[in-house]
Amino acid sequence: MKKILITGGAGFIGSHVVRRFVTKYPEYQIYNLDALTYAGNLENIKDIENHPNYNFVKGDIVDEAFINELFSTHNFEGVLHLAAESHVDRSIEDPLAFVKTNVIGTMNLLNAAKKQWKDNFDGKRFYHISTDEVYGSLGAEGLFTETTPYDPNSPYSASKASSDHFVRAYGETYGLPYVLTNCSNNYGSYHFPEKLIPLFINNIINNKPLPVYGDGNYTRDWLFVEDHAIAIDLVFHEGKNHETYNIGGFNEWKNIDLVKLLCQIMDQKLGRDSGTSEKLITYVKDRPGHDLRYAIDATKINKELGWKPSVTFEEGLEKTINWYLNNEEWLKNVTSGAYKDYYKKQYS
Ligand code: NAD
303-331 burial code (b ≥16 CB/10 A, e <16):
eebebebebebeebbeebbebbeeeeebb
CB 280 within 8 A of CB 209: yes
Q: Report residue 347's pLDDT band, with 50, 70 and 90 as the boundaries.
A: low
Give the pLDDT of residue 118: 84
Site to probe by mutation for ligand 1, drawn from 37, 182, 224 as the one with most ligand atoms within 8 Å of Cβ, is 37
Distance CA 118, CA 186 (A): 35
In DSSP terms, which residues pair with 6 in a beta bridge?
32, 80
Site to probe by mutation for ligand 1, drawn from 17, 82, 160 as the one with most ligand atoms within 8 Å of Cβ, is 82
CB 127 within 8 A of CB 78: yes
Expressed as residue numbers, the domain containing 159 is 2-187+222-247
Distance CA 296, CA 298 (A): 6
Give the pLDDT of residue 243: 98
Higher pLDDT pick, 345 / 226: 226
The answer to whether position 66 is within a domain reads yes
**206: CA distance to ligand 1 center in Å?**
26
Higher pLDDT pick, 346 / 190: 190
Give me the chain's average pLDDT, please.
95
Say if residue 191 is exposed, middle or buried (CB neighbours under 10 Å; 0-12, 13-18, 19+).
buried
The answer to whether position 282 is within a domain reads no
Q: What number of other Cβ atoms are within 10 A of residue 225's Cβ?
A: 22
DSSP 272: P
Give the pLDDT of residue 140: 87
Reply yes or no on whether the pLDDT at 30 is more than 90. Answer: yes
Q: How do residues 247-298 score in pLDDT, each as one tens digit? A: 999 999 999 999 999 999 999 999 999 999 999 999 998 888 888 899 999 9
What backbone phi and psi angles, to 5 degrees, belong to 221?
A: -100, 130
Give the pLDDT of residue 340: 65
- For the annotated catalytic residues, the residue numbers are 132-133, 156
Residue of minimum CA distance from atom 29 in ligand 1? 82
The answer to whether position 268 is within a domain reads no
Give the pLDDT of residue 110: 98
Give the pLDDT of residue 334: 87
Could you give the angle at the alpha carbon of 233 between the alpha carbons of 191 and 252, nearest 5°?
50
Residue 3's identity, in one-letter code, is K
Q: How do residues 137-190 score in pLDDT, each as one tens digit? A: 998 899 999 999 999 999 999 999 999 999 999 999 999 999 999 999 999 999
Q: How do residues 65-111 score in pLDDT, each as one tens digit? A: 999 999 999 999 999 999 999 999 999 999 999 999 999 999 999 99
The structural domain count of the chain equals 1
**271: CA distance to ligand 1 center in Å?**
35
The answer to whether position 312 is within a domain reads no
Q: How do residues 37-56 score in pLDDT, each as one tens digit? A: 999 999 999 999 999 999 99
The answer to whether position 166 is within a domain reads yes
**272: CA distance to ligand 1 center in Å?**
35
The atom number, within ligand 1, closest to the CA of 14 reads 26
**119: CA distance to ligand 1 center in Å?**
31
CB 291 within 8 A of CB 153: yes
Reply yes or no on whether the pLDDT at 321 is more than 90. Answer: yes
Reply yes or no on whether the pLDDT at 342 is more than 80. Answer: no
The whole-model pTM stands at 0.95
What backbone phi and psi angles, to 5 degrees, belong to 337?
A: 55, -125
Q: What is the largest CA-CA distance in the chain?
A: 66
Query: Which CATH number belongs to the domain containing residue 52 in this structure?
Result: 3.40.50.720
Distance CA 236, CA 80 (A): 8
Give the pLDDT of residue 64: 98
3-state secondary structure of 118: coil
In DSSP terms, which residues pair with 106 in a beta bridge?
none
Reply yes or no on whether the pLDDT at 344 is more than 90. Answer: no
3-state secondary structure of 101: helix
The answer to whether position 264 is within a domain reads no
In DSSP terms, which residues pair with 126 in a beta bridge?
79, 178
3-state secondary structure of 57: strand
Could you give the angle at the alpha carbon of 57 between the alpha carbons of 60 and 187, nearest 5°?
75
Ligand 1 binding pocket (C-beta < 6 A) is 7-8, 10-14, 34-37, 39-40, 60-62, 82-86, 101, 105, 129-131, 160, 183, 185-186, 192
Report the C-alpha dihedral over residues 29, 34, 36, 42, rounded to 10 degrees.
-20
ipTM score: 0.99
Among the listed residues 80, 79, 37, the one whose alpha carbon sits nearest the alpha carbon of residue 62: 37
Give the pLDDT of residue 348: 60
Pairing of strands 28-34, 76-81: unpaired
Pairing of strands 28-34, 54-58: parallel
